[in-house]
């Protein structure tokens, strides 16, 4: 029996080691491609030494300096405190967030139950494991199709494994046919199961002006630190002209937001390309959101209701009446590049937590 346990233990250890190696190769290839695309110059020997000295304090050796090279090449702000993606995704995020509760607790179909005290988009129907629901009542597909046949613009999206704006579709349905010419029943079939249909959020005029065709959201990364919630970084995510999504992975632009609501001067794509203005011609430095205190209060309250995850990225919209609207929250694979490109080495406080757990 002891031999069997030993074999299982050894197999798990080998699996974890090979997985880590595989992931490191993935991040290594990614940063090489980003540097090549951006044409970021190599760091000086002094800068490399500064990075190694900083990470040695946390007993972390062999840290890739290529991420520092990329960030510095993009925003012209050098710091040894930038965090490489592989370190965050392999060592930090899994330690701080309990994977056993992912993705079940982040399913968009239960978001209203998880956070009942914050406004959310109005839901028309839910599909949970293939079953249709409306107002918490089990319904058949025929009823679900009828409820969505409004002639008004709606959005359908997956509720699990749905990051990066994947498979989000805006549509109007009349007499069972959506504006693309497809039957709504076929659209449902394409999504399979675990999806949600909601009304479009009528967003605040300031955010809408950034790009009228997309829901432009505020992403805030928070850390649940003993008896308080720390805000690590805040950015706004803006779609490109004609795009219906604001996600950076689909070409959107992000810009850092200061605590007082003032936008930074520059915005960035994930490629590192910088922008001073949106496609609609609004300069970032001319924008200040007067409702940021309300937004920060909201994420402070929300994170205290989600202690299973110590670090969370919240996606929030602001409606036309200046209400904060929760769109989703991210706990695994939450992007860090947009935060560091816009706001610098904002993740450095997490290294102290990692050090205490090593």
- Coil, strand or helix: which one is 289? coil
Which residues contact residue 100 at a Cβ distance below 8 angstroms, ignoring those fewer than 6 apart?
none
CB 242 within 8 A of CB 279: no
Q: Which residues pair with 195 in a beta bridge?
A: 127, 158
**Both tokens assigned to 52:** 């190694």
Measuring CA to CA, which residue among 62, 34, 29 is closest to residue 48? 62
* 78 vs 72: CA distance, rounded Å: 5
**Both tokens assigned to 355:** 């050090």
Check pLDDT > 80 for residue 176.
yes
Measuring CA to CA, which residue among 301, 311, 306, 312 is closest to residue 353? 311
Share of the chain above pLDDT 70, in %: 91
60-65 long-range contacts (CB < 8 A, ≥24 apart) are 60/87, 60/351, 63/87, 64/27, 64/28, 64/31
* 210 vs 315: CA distance, rounded Å: 17
- The lowest-confidence range among 73-77, 244-248, 252-256 is 244-248
| Residue 61: count of CB within 10 angstroms of its CB | 8
Measuring CA to CA, which residue among 140, 133, 136, 198 is closest to residue 169? 198
Check pLDDT > 50 for residue 297.
yes
**pLDDT tens-digit profile of 23-77?**
668 878 999 999 998 888 999 999 999 999 999 999 998 899 999 999 999 999 9
Check pLDDT > 80 for residue 180.
yes
Cβ-count burial of 253 within 10 angstroms (0-12 exposed, 13-18 middle, 19+ buried)? buried
pLDDT computed for residue 358 by the predictor: 55
- Coil, strand or helix: which one is 71? helix
Q: Which residues pair with 183 in a beta bridge?
A: 177
CB 156 within 8 A of CB 150: no
**pLDDT tens-digit profile of 154-163?**
999 999 976 6
Which residues contact residue 307 at a Cβ distance below 8 angstroms, ignoring those fewer than 6 apart?
224
Average pLDDT in the 291-305 region? 98
Split at pLDDT 50, 70, 90, the class of 142 is very high
* 151 vs 176: CA distance, rounded Å: 10
Backbone angles phi, psi at 340, to 5 degrees: -75, -30
Give the orientation angle of helix 141-148 with respect to helix 184-191, to 10 degrees.
Answer: 120
Whole-prediction pTM: 0.91
Cis check: omega of the bond before 32, within 30 degrees of 0 = no
Beta strands in the chain (DSSP E): 123-128, 131-134, 137-139, 153-158, 169-174, 177-178, 195-199, 217-225, 228-238, 253-257, 263-268, 274-275, 311-318, 324-330
pLDDT computed for residue 5 by the predictor: 47
Backbone angles phi, psi at 282, to 5 degrees: -85, 125
pLDDT computed for residue 89 by the predictor: 94
**Both tokens assigned to 301:** 């309250």
Backbone angles phi, psi at 356, to 5 degrees: -70, -20
* 274 vs 267: CA distance, rounded Å: 6
């Amino acid at each position: 029996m002891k031999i069997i346990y030993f074999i299982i233990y050894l197999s798990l250890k080998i699996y974890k080691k090979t997985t880590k190696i595989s992931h490191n190769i993935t991040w290594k290839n990614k940063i090489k491609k980003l540097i090549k695309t951006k044409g970021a110059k190599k760091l000086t020997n002094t800068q490399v030494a500064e990075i190694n000295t900083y990470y040695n304090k946390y007993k972390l050796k062999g840290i890739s300096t290529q991420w520092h090279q990329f960030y510095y090449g993009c925003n012209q702000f050098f710091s040894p405190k930038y965090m490489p993606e592989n370190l965050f995704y392999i060592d930090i995020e899994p330690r701080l967030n309990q994977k056993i509760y992912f993705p079940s607790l982040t399913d968009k179909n239960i978001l209203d139950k998880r956070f009942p005290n914050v406004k959310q988009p109005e839901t028309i129907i839910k599909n949970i494991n293939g079953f249709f629901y409306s107002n918490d009542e089990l319904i058949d597909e025929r009823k679900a199709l009828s409820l969505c046949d409004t002639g008004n613009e709606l959005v359908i999206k997956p509720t699990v494994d749905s990051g990066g704006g994947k498979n989000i579709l805006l549509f109007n349905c009349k007499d069972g046919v959506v504006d693309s010419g497809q039957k709504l029943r076929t659209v449902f079939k394409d999504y399979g199961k675990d999806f949600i249909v909601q009304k479009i959020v009528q967003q605040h005029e300031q955010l809408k002006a950034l790009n009228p065709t997309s829901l432009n959201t505020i992403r805030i990364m928070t850390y649940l630190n003993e008896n308080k919630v720390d805000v690590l970084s805040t950015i706004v995510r803006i779609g490109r002209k004609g795009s219906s999504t604001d996600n950076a992975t689909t070409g959107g632009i992000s810009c850092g937001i200061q605590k007082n609501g003032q936008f930074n001067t520059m915005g960035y794509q994930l490629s590192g390309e910088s922008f001073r203005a949106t496609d609609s011609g609004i300069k970032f430095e001319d924008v200040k959101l007067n409702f940021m205190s309300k937004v920060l209060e909201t994420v402070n309250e929300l994170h205290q209701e989600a202690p299973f995850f110590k670090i969370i990225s919240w996606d929030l919209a602001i409606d036309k009446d200046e209400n904060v609207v929760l769109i989703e929250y991210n706990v695994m694979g939450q992007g860090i590049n947009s935060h560091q490109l816009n706001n610098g080495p904002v993740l450095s406080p997490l290294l102290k937590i990692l050090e205490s757990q090593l």
